[in-house]
Structure 1
């Protein structure tokens, strides 16, 4: 993890560099000019395959700044055909490949040691928007899609809290947010995909066509195919959001109110946080929003009925729908300006069973300090598991589960601090798993193949079959260590 902070100057939009002409089969390295030895010519590309030291250094890092695995080349594809060509070449020469969107992973998930990283950000076209769907490249950002769909009064049903993420990236994981308790996660709102399999084949899949591939790709962590295009469900968009922040002193009241709101669905958006109380302890923040149009504003009294928050603690604000969905943008700019954005981020995201949430979270919070989080957010909010339709998005087997996320920042950004936080993540992961819980695999948690088998059960056998069928030589996305 040495010199992580110096790697934060990620090269954006690089279009020039050392261009590769072949692969040295003897020395297992890319070459830029003819030399002695057995040289395999790389396929003709519409984009570029780069081996500049600066590029490779940039692509060996991610938002977590914890794991560093340096590739031997970075593909900036000029077309989907480039991805097909490189994967076929990699398969023929036993080279590992991983796709990378905005590199917002925190534990090296999109990195590949001595392999090829495919930078999907160059595939960034919005192909069409109709009354109920949008067809977009994998490298399009969710913010860009939202800006385009709002021009037609439409919106995707679910957004992650931070929307400067690529569509292909979040669909490889799940994509959870404050409307998920009503609309599922982002993968539940995908109508079809175009993917390049690990065997180098371009395929279309959906619930009706190549269903097994569709199920293996969405929330599949890039194990069977690379998403290159997605058709996303759209719904009518509202103009405004009335945002409520309500505070609670005790965990039991807080989670009971959240259970009530999950049941009656009175709000469009539901999240919550564990926040410092100011006296060394913690209190609880309910974040809810009602989406509306100007001519039909919501009734505050009806929305706030029976919510049992601390009297006088409520904060109410009206925002445009876009500003609410993009609400983290000012905070991110502030964190970038003071450098904290570039510190290591040993995040932890767990799904805690409803039946265990008060005891588990209560125990964690009783020992948790601000230094344990580095002043990062601590999220706690419920979702309905019946909204989740894709088999690889794993959650506990209860009607309601709670996302409990400690979005740690290592302060100071030192190895010892990171190691302590990662070790604590592993401890809490095991404790939650022993209670029947699961995790959202964006985390900084050291995992074994046995852990992955347990995570994906009872779908593990089908995932193994899909891997053998669509990535028969195990080319794709090795870093998580699933296979």
Structure 2
């Protein structure tokens, strides 16, 4: 899977006359092949191309949220890891900010940078190695691509996000949660080694046994201390099929009680859940669980459903291939893209709610929540066990069981509607925070530096020390607003 993009990009850039060749120190602007004059500092030779054309910059000034728009001065489409090193060093020298962008699936401008440089990580998309228990991949590889490659050897990453068209580097920056996280933690808990470029422009290899401090600062570190460029991902044996169970509940407490039971005894490989519209009005609760298997072995439905208190006669049971189950959102996403809804604003809310208050907290919100509040977007609610989480910057409440609660809103392209949803997000966040909850930092919640300090409070000092050590000039990933 060689990356042959850089030569094509060079040719296209030269034809367009927008290839950056230097930086004007007086005017603080890039010098291109089209406007070159004397008196600029030359950019180091690149294997890829640094672009300044409006279309490329506009694309990098947006993300899936379509709410925040920060315009970079240039976009790097790297032809190699060395390009990233060169550009970060150049940016550091000239006091420019840098951010990495994978699929841009964030919802509040996290991979954007005003007047700086965005690095398009999609250019680095090689799967370098697949062995019996691990895969070595570039940061721009999509999880769907990795899964297809590993399934050829009957292997799989232990944890997949619900939407698998995300980049490895992107989810490792945030954490990467999914329906198997009650068994295996989040995706960062299944990284054996990672290569990163720090804010000093140094390429470092780190792992739990090598440069542990950097390893802990980068994984779920929101790009503050280093940009992931390559990762070694743990693999486990993969089954060929999934039996998927959708179980419905009218009572929130019964729903969460069964979820707790299922993650405790681990009878299912996968456990999630949603708050779904009730045909008679209001909401009900859907437990989604899957048992992975390889014929001729098959799951025992009676054993799997024993002791559960779902509404009998409403259950739905379906067998699917393992990949089709992992890629189950593909038809929905295709419809949303075709209908244009994919390009609507998405002011998502993603929280970790303490298990001891989840019924009260979610119950209060659901009692007044309407479909207009969600824009028909899904509402997720499912538990995970915190003893599976090993990285300090992945912040969850200090309890054995916590619940991911996500309102994946779709807003009309209307400023007032977006502002109303964002205000609700902040209110719900504060209510959860005051109960001991945290947020999953992929959503759209306005956050101050004091909020970030509170978010990371038990490890804030460690993050500050790591930032000073690995990104002393505060070059990297300003979109979160942490430093």
Partner-residue secondary structure (3-state), 2:387: helix
Paired position in structure 1 for 2:477: 477
Q: Secondary structure at the match of 2:174?
A: coil
Larger displacement relative to structure 2 (255-264 or 172-181): 255-264
Specify the alignment match of 2:177 in structure 1. 176
Structure 1 residue 338: Cα displacement: 0.6
- How many Å separate the matches in 1 of 2:325 and 2:93? 48
Specify the alignment match of 2:40 in structure 1: 39
Answer yes or no: is the 8 Å Cα contact 2:270–2:289 preserved in 1.
yes
Q: CA deviation at 1:306?
A: 1.1
The equivalent of 1:347 in structure 2 is: 348
**Correspondence for 1:414:** 414
Mapped partners of 2:371, 2:256: distance in 1? 22
The answer on 1:274 being equivalent to 2:279 is no
* Structure 1 partner of 2:424: 424
Which residue in the other structure is 2:396 paired with? 395
Shift of 1:35: 4.9
- In the other structure, the counterpart of 1:147 is 148
Match in the other structure for 2:227: 226
Q: TM-score, normalised by structure 1?
A: 0.96
Q: Distance in 2 between matches of 1:32 and 1:263?
A: 59
Moved more, 13-22 or 388-397: 13-22
* SS of aligned partner of 1:285: strand
8 A contact 1:26–1:37 mirrored in 2: no
Alpha-carbon distance, 1:329 to partner: 0.4
Note if 1:98 corresponds to 2:99.
yes
Match of 1:25 in 2: 25
Is the 1:88–1:200 Cα contact (8 Å) retained in structure 2? yes
In the alignment, is residue 190 of structure 1 matched against residue 185 of structure 2? no
The C-alpha deviation readout for 1:308-338, integer Å capped at 9, x for no partner, is 1111001000000000001000100011111
Give the distance between the partners of 1:467 and 1:228, measured in 2 at CA.
Answer: 18
C-alpha distance in 1, partners of 2:113/2:41? 21
User: Aligned partners of 1:364, 1:396: CA distance in 2, in Å?
Assistant: 19
Q: How far, CA to CA, are the matches of 1:400 and 1:176 in structure 2? A: 14
Please identify, of 198-207 and 33-42, the stretch whose mean Cα deviation from structure 2 is larger.
33-42
Partner of 1:131: 132
What does 1:207-218 align with in structure 2 at a 5 Å threshold?
Answer: 207-218=208-219
Distance 2:112 2:230 in 1: 21
Alignment correspondent of 1:434: 434
TM-score (normalised: structure 2): 0.96
- The aligned runs of 1:278-357 (5 Å cut-off) are 278-357=279-358
Structure 2, unaligned runs of 5 or more: 1-7
- More off after superposition, 15-24 vs 238-247: 15-24
> How does 1:33-112 map onto structure 2 within 5 Å?
33=33, 35=36, 38-112=39-113
Contact 2:30 2:73 (8 Å CA) reproduced: yes
Classify the secondary structure of the residue corresponding to 2:478: coil
Runs of 4 or more, structure 1, over 6 Å off, are: none
**Cα displacement (A) at 1:80:** 0.4
Tell me the residue number matched to 1:4: none
Per-residue deviation, residues 387-436 of structure 1 (Å, max 9, x unmatched)? 000000000000000000000000x2211111110110000000000000
**Distance in 2 (alpha carbons) for counterparts of 1:59 and 1:264:** 45
Q: Distance in 2 between matches of 1:226 and 1:235?
A: 26
Q: 1:93 to 1:390 in 2, by over 3 A?
A: same
Tell whether the 8 Å contact from 1:216 to 1:392 is kept in structure 2 after alignment.
yes
Distance 1:208 1:64 in 2: 37
Shift of 1:178: 0.1
Q: Deviations over 1:131-176 (max 9, x none)?
A: 0000000000000000000000100000000000000000000000
RMSD: 1.0
Give the distance between the partners of 2:112 and 2:62, measured in 1 at CA: 7
Aligned residue for 1:469, secondary structure, equals helix
Distance in 1 separating the partners of 2:36 and 2:98:
25
Q: Which residue of 1 aligns with 2:4?
A: none
Q: Which residue of 2 aligns with 1:10?
A: none
What is the DSSP-based 3-state SS (H/G/I as helix, E as strand, rest coil) of the residue aligned with 1:196?
strand
> Which ranges of structure 1 fall in alignment gaps of 5 or more residues?
1-12
Local SS of the residue matching 1:458: helix
Q: Which residue of 2 aligns with 1:463?
A: 463
Q: Distance in 1 between matches of 2:414 and 2:41?
A: 43
**Residue number in structure 2 paired with 1:362:** 363
**1:38, distance to aligned residue in structure 2 (A):** 3.4
SS across alignment from 1:204: strand
Asked whether the 8 Å contact 1:24–1:37 carries over to 2, the reply is no
State the alpha-carbon separation in 1 of the partners of residues 169 and 305 from structure 2.
37
Matched, 1:453 2:475: no
Q: For the Cα contact (< 8 Å) 2:9–2:49, is it kept in 1?
A: no
Deviation string for 1:280-328 (max 9, x for gaps)? 2000000000000111101001101111111100100000000000100
Most deviating of 28-37 and 276-285: 28-37
1:219 and 1:392 in contact (8 A); partners too: yes
Larger mean Cα displacement after TM superposition, 303-312 or 236-245: 303-312
CA drift at 1:279: 2.4
Whole-Å Cα distance in 2 between the matches of residues 14 and 298 of structure 1?
Answer: 50
